[in-house]
Amino acid sequence: MQQRRIGPFSVSAIGLGCMNLSHAYGVPPPAEEGERLLLRALDLGVTLFDTAALYGFGANETLVGRALKPHRDRFTLASKGGMAGVKGEDGVTRRVIDGRPETIRRNCVDSLQRLGVEVIDLYYLHRLDMQVPIEETVGAMADLVRQGKVKTLGLSEVSAATLRRAHAVHPIAALQTEYSLWTRNPEIAALQACRELGVAFVAFSPVGRGFLAGGLADVSTLDAKDIRRSMPRFSPENYARNLQLFDGLKRIAQSLGATPAQLSLAWLLAQGEDIVPIPGTTSVAHLEEDLGAVNVSLDADVMRDLDALINPRTVAGGRYNAATQREIDTEEF
């Protein structure tokens, strides 16, 4: 497996986003299947595993910890705080964004316990709390580094301006944001800021929440609790238009002897040595397919064809609905 750098860590060029195993896309697989996939990823050379307090309201960290703790010295562990499940007076657990220092400290301690480890290698702020200055939140995260609870810091879904403010308080090792052929927002300013500051870029949803892998022909089949149901790109009208783009992607992939998912990941890898995609999956077969992207080489003509085919002008629909978009600090087209 090829290697890339995140702060002091050398990690596999393609990591694993663990969210799918517990959260967001309908009924998660049984725990034993999730553990099997995590261990298979490790055996295939994946050395970056990304989880969060939010995923399954703690269940994902528990799963990752249980499966991978015996192999702790073989991988870089990333998790996130500042957005977690909070039980209301009605007994229902809901997602809450909270960047107050006391919450960040509590989130980290809870994550350490669920993961069953003494230190988290890369600890992200999952979402910017618009009510709390980023300097206060990152200041609390820096305290966690000094206390030995985490080794390095990251931010998720923030703008270039917020990244710069945070980096002035404490070095930021990684910025994690959605980036793929059909989500180019980081190209507005975040990627450039990362390169100026020496911050690695971790790309989540690198195969477009499954779209760029071709695994979803009919959005009406999505589970009732699948988060894609609320995303404009997956509305029936927009998705029908976007499927026309997939046909072209499939043709280019076939010409290279690759799958659409591999082609999409190879495109990301070709954007720079500082980019680490973290696709997620519940399927060992899809995991093995994704990792094959490191063997796909793209020349300038293919890169140009892909950019012309799938870009902000050709994709129908935004990536989030209006309510969710208001919670996101990233630059938007």
pLDDT, tens only, 61-95: 999 999 999 999 999 999 999 999 998 989 899 99
Q: How confident is the model at residue 24 (pLDDT cuts 50, 70, 90)?
A: confident
Q: Is 239 a catalytic residue?
A: no
Is the separation of the CB atoms in 61 and 111 below 8 Å?
yes
Residue 244: inside a domain: no
**How much is the average pLDDT of 104-115?**
98
**What are the tokens at 204?**
């989540």
Residue 23: inside a domain: yes
Q: What is the pLDDT of residues 237-259, one digit of tens each?
A: 999 999 999 999 999 999 999 99
- Residue of 55, 123, 124, 320 marked active site: 55
Residue 112: inside a domain: yes
Say which residue, 66 or 215, is predicted with more confidence.
66
Euclidean distance between the first and the last CA atom of the chain, given in angstroms as a whole number = 34
Q: What pTM value is reported for the model?
A: 0.96
The predicted pLDDT at position 133 comes to: 98
**How much is the average pLDDT of 37-61?**
98
Q: What is the CATH number of the domain that holds 62?
A: 3.20.20.100
Residue 221: inside a domain: no
Residue 36: inside a domain: yes
Q: Which domain holds residue 138?
A: 3-210+264-297
- For residue 300, which phi and psi values (nearest 5 degrees)? -60, -35
pLDDT surpassing 90 at residue 26: no
Percent of the chain at pLDDT exceeding 70: 100
Instruction: Using CB atoms within 10 Å of the CB of residue 57, give its burial: 0 to 12 exposed, 13 to 18 middle, 19+ buried.
Output: middle
**How much is the average pLDDT of 153-165?**
98
> What is the average pLDDT score of the chain?
97
The predicted pLDDT at position 17 comes to: 98
* CA pair distance 125, 187, nearest whole angstrom: 21
Residue 311: inside a domain: no
* CA pair distance 214, 280, nearest whole angstrom: 14
Q: How confident is the model at residue 308 (pLDDT cuts 50, 70, 90)?
A: very high
Give me the sign of the Cα torsion angle 297, 15, 211, 268.
negative
Structural domain count of the chain: 1
Q: How confident is the model at residue 321 (pLDDT cuts 50, 70, 90)?
A: very high
Residue 65: inside a domain: yes
Q: What is the pLDDT of residues 198-212, one digit of tens each?
A: 999 999 999 999 999
pLDDT surpassing 90 at residue 287: yes
Residue 20: inside a domain: yes
